[in-house]
Amino acid sequence: FHGGSYDDALRDTVSLAKDVEGMNHFYRRTMYRNQRFVDSEQARKCVLPCTPLAVVKVLEHLGAYDDQHPVGNRMSGKVVT
């Protein structure tokens, strides 16, 4: 019963307004797309999970996460070991 899709279903039942850890599908998608705001006016920041965000920040700092590539392909040609 535990793991996989069951865990996702539980995380996705949490309201965006109450998800303080940023683990539901909406916030995971915004992190993947490097979208930092919920709205187009950029008035409401996204809640981003701290550990994955830290990984993205480290990859950006090291130059491994190339924002010139389209979303979903920003580590094209890179090898992570």
For the question of residue 50 being annotated catalytic, the response is: yes
- Give the distance, in angstroms, between the CA of residue 23 and the centroid of all CA atoms in the same chain: 9
Backbone angles phi, psi at 48, to 5 degrees: -115, 135
Q: Is 55 helix (H, G, I), strand (E, B) or coil?
A: helix
The single residue of 50, 54, 55, 71 carrying the catalytic annotation is: 50
Residues 6+ positions from 10 with CB-CB distance below 8 Å: none
**Residues labelled catalytic:** 50
